[in-house]
Every structure is written in C-alpha cells, then in structure tokens.
Structure 1
Amino acid sequence: MAEPNSLIAHLIELRGRVLKAVVSVFVVFLCLVYFAQDLYHWLATPLLDTLPENAQMIATDVASPFFAPFKLTMVLSFFIAIPVVLFQIWGFVAPGLYRNEKRLVAPLLFSSTLLFYLGMAFAYYVVFPLAFSFFTSVAPEGVVINTDISSYLNFVLKIFFAFGLAFEIPVAVVLMCWTGVTTPDKLRAKRPYVIVGVFVVGMLLTPPDIISQTLLAIPMWILYEFGIVIGGIYTRKKEEQEPQDEL
C-alpha cells in the first residue's frame, strides 16, 4: 500500500500534468480563434465544392454563425495539442513501467497519434469528396440542398472520430499480442470474421451509403493485417527478451 505522502505527491504531479495539458489546448485555441471563420470555411470546402449551382449552406439557429466556428476551433485545438497531452500522460506513467514496457509504450504513443491524424486526413481528402458527391447526386428532383452549418459540423466531427479511432487498429492489435491476450496466428485464423466485422463497423459508423462504408472498411482491414505483422515482430522480441531477463 502506498504511503500517504507518496500518494499526495502522485496526486500533485497528476494535477500539474493535467494543468499543462489543458494549458496547451488553451494556447493552441488562442492561436487559432482569430481564424475560426476561415477554419470553418476550410472544413466546409468538400461540401461546398459538390453543392449544385445556387445551393449554399445556411444557419437555422441565431447563434450558429458564431458557435459553429467556435466549437470547431475548440475541437481542432485539442486535436493539435494531442502530442502534448500524450507526452504528459507518458511523463506520469513512465516511472512505473519496466524497461521493456517503456520500449513498447513510447512507440505506440507516437504511432497512435500519427494514425489518428492519418485517419482524419483520409476522411477529409478521400471520404468527404466522394460521399458528398454521392449525397448531392441522389437528391430528389425539386429538392434544394441547403445544409445547416451546425448539423454539418456535428456530422463531420463524428466521421473524423470514426476514422481516427478506426486507424488505431494496429495499436490495439499490437497491445493484444504483447499482453498475451491473443497471438498473431490466432488473429490470422480469424481473418474471415474480421473482414465481415469491418464492413459491419463501416456500416454503423458512416452515413448509409456504400462508398463511405467501403472507404472505412477496407483501410480497417489493411490496418488489421499491418497490426498482425507488427504484433508478430513485437511478440518475437518479447520472447527473445524473456530468457535474457531470467539470466
């Protein structure tokens, strides 16, 4: 059982690191808030480029023109500050890890951040143009497409989170292999079920069109296979390290 003084010291350190993480997000927000309107226009570009002639985005709520860009800036500030937030988490948990655990966790923190960013970039540059083109092309005759800015923001943020989390599959696979929950061979044997599963997840996390569902499912499958390869490498290293630790 930890001593009271030790527990208080840990709580003080935790408070300091949480404060640093919050301050980092706030600093990024201060740097971006002036460009809030430009940032929202950048976010809306994939939709604006596919809207029919004379169609435009609208604001159905009185405060939407202010709060929608403000909300986007807050969320974007957190996304940008994620490396600092993860660094603070790493600084808090690292002293309690063994050397071999540190060799695993540090690369995973870096790769998880990179994969999350890649998932968001894939959604913005690949999925959005194709999905919005599909949505606007299937609008019934006589229907004018005027998307509300708040509804659009909520929609794209959900897609960003969906693709960002989906791109974390290799990290999850590596962790499962490293902790002994499963093995690369067992994961390969479950490949048919995984293929069906990723398409089901794609159906649940994306709009009801086959394009965006497939664009999420296929990268998830590829990342699953990539995770198995990396998990096999980490597992072999762990097996080689254990005899050395016993000597």
Structure 2
Amino acid sequence: MAKLFGNLELVLIVGLVAALAIIGAFASSVVVDANSILRWLHLFFGVLWIGLLYYFNFVQVPTMPAIPAEQKGAVTGFIAPKALFYFRWAALLTVVTGLGIAQVNGYLHTAMSFTGEGAVNLIGTGMWIALVMAFNVWFIIWPNQKKALGIVETTPEQKAAAGPRAMIASRLNTLLSLPMLYCMVSANLG
C-alpha cells in the first residue's frame, strides 16, 4: 500500500482507471459524451485550482510570518514553486474545459455576450469572472511570484514589491471565487 500511495502519479493512474471502469459500467444508462467528459475534467481542474488558491490564502500566506527565517527556504524554494505550477495549469485547464462545455452545449457566444436569459447570463457572468481570475494567475500572480521567490533575477526593490502585488491579486481571486462559484453551481445548464 505504501508503494501505491507514496506515488502520486500511480494514484492518479489508478484513479483514472477506476473512473473509466465506472464510466464503462454505467455507459448503458448514463450518457457518456464530450459534455460529460468535459464536465468531469472541468470539476477536477476547478477543484485543484480553487483548492490551491485557498491553500495559499488560508494556510501558506498567513503562516509564513510565523516560520523561522532558516526554515522559510523550504516553502519558498520547494513547496511554493511546485504548488504554483499546478495552480497556474489548473487555472488554464479549468477555463479551457469550461469554454469547451459552453461550446459543446451551444451557449458559448450567448453566455459570453450576455445575449441570453437567466441561467445563460448567470453562467456568462461566472465565465467572465473565471477569465479575470485566470488572467490574474498567469499575468499578475505568477510573474510576481517568480520575482518574490527568486525564480527570476530581479533587484531587491522589485523583489520586495512583487510579493504584495501577488498577494493582492491572489486575495482578489479569493474574493471573486465566491460569486464565481455561485454562478457556476446555480446556472444548471445542459
């Protein structure tokens, strides 16, 4: 068991095989199509993205001041860069799969342009919020975190300014996640 659960890639492969077995077992009574597969992937990547957003905002950032200086390097040198890798790619894949769901179901343009009614405009609102959040991840949080963590060379002044910039964008994403999640779960579109 330790060999299985000590290997994340193996756990994910076994999980994928288990999911495919369930999909196969219920394929005769449940529709398996591009929509259902995209929704499944959208949920997975969304949970990963927002889970890491909440980890950073509820755990890592508030805890960093209490960590002794000689131990901070473990977080800034190893944990944060790895978490930020999954964070930014989960953001991108959440957006891509979400847009795919809207396209497959025929409401992408209507939702994005707010030319529908009710639930379509609600999901459009959630989509635009998610796009702003993903923009923040890739174009504000990540570039500033690279400076703050010393991944890229920068001046001491730029490094000092980068952390607060990344934190503000991350907190904005935390704020935006609440209305975005409401939009996503309440629209109930095919």
Using the size of structure 1 for normalisation, the TM-score is 0.29
Q: Rg: which structure is higher?
A: 1
Using the size of structure 2 for normalisation, the TM-score is 0.36
